Amino acid sequence: MGGALRCRNGVNVDRSSVEALDRVLRGAVEAEDGVPGVVAMATDREGNFYEGAAGERGLGTDAEMTTDTVFAIFSCTKAITGAAVMQLVEEGEIDLSHPAKEYAPEISDIQVLEGFGEDGEPRTRPPKTDVTVEQLMLHTAGFGYDFFNHDLVRYGEKRGVPSVVTATQASLDSALLFDPGERWEYGSNIDWVGKVVEGARGKRLGEVFEERIFGPLGMNSAGFILTDEMRSRRATMHQREDDGPLTPMPDFELPQEPEQHMGGHGLYMPVGDYMKFIRMILNEGEGENGRVLKAETVRAMGQNGLGDMTIKLLPGVIPTLSNDAEFFPGMPKGWSYTFMVNHEDAPTGRPAGELGWAGLANLYYWIDRKNGVGGFWATQILPFADPASFGGYMEFETAVYEAARSAAPAAV
């Protein structure tokens, strides 16, 4: 476990910093009701300066967690879909202000949920305005997730809407919770963005990713579909029970012949591949095999787009899928294309105005453009906001900043 630790200006970090980061990973595994296994990495603009793994890929197996383990990354997919949209904007193929129905006509059929009648039936009406691509990117279009919203649970039960993890069009044919642009609500917006990309490119989202993002970045084990080789390295999903223990779910996989490539949650990859995406953002669009985005586009992707609105706590409505979840409670936070933006300095060391987000199975990342560092923490545990995994991630991010400061006090 662990590896060479190097600061972004080439200064070697001492072995004690490596050991401190290793201890965070081991602590998350060895704690009572800890995580079964974890992979964590940190990068500067040049390359990974820490790669660590601890524990097992699945409880009760002999397979050690290794740095090349493959994870279902869930909502960490969203930023990659956002990059695919911004490539289209650069090329003049789409405009963020345009109605999304120009590229994904099925969105025209979605109604606004106004409430429920005495008989429990949903009351709906057409939205006052069309949903725009920008509203989808900012999560202000009106779409939500049922596991964060009681009304969508009721609506889904009445209308037979399947879970988004089924990767079907029917799972997206839910309801808007409000008129487009009224407020922020985290939900299936980026799945619709994926359909916008497909409509504009005339190809499936996975093909677009492979040609325009994964290839240029050298992300060689990333995709919606698991190859046999990727599956041999896949981490097992685990369910946290109410009393604390974890139950492995070795057969859990996202649909492998999906009707819809879900731009909001569908990708598999090892952490090392995602680090290449993080470095592309740190390097303002430049990847290891060529440029992916223009520098000005990457800067635009990092700007808060909510104005006076702020994002809110995500309430855990379906307990098997999510606990109540919020980064840095009490701190105002915005949203960009398509990352969370913290408006104040975070206690971990992340400066104000920087980027991050997460995936449902307790995966977390951040991108600090100011200091040129970023990191990723990966487990496979449901529900979201698992205290052991999220607490370990917060410790890891903090330890990365401490290690970087010890290497170059003036730099971070």
Residues labelled catalytic: 75, 78, 186
What are the C-alpha distances in Å from 35 to residues 62, 72, 231, 245, 265? Answer: 16, 16, 21, 10, 22
**Rounded CA gap, 100 and 181, in Å?**
13
Q: Where are the alpha helices (DSSP H) in 202-255?
A: 205-209, 215-217, 228-231
* Paired strand residues for 179: none
Whether 124 contacts 117, CB under 8 Å: no
Backbone angle region of 42, left / alpha / beta, with phi > 0 → left and psi within -120 to 50 → alpha: beta
- Coil, strand or helix at 295: helix
- Coil, strand or helix at 298: helix
Terminal Cα distance for the chain, rounded: 25
Whether 47 contacts 212, CB under 8 Å: no
Which parts of 8-96 are beta strand (E)? 37-43, 48-55, 70-72
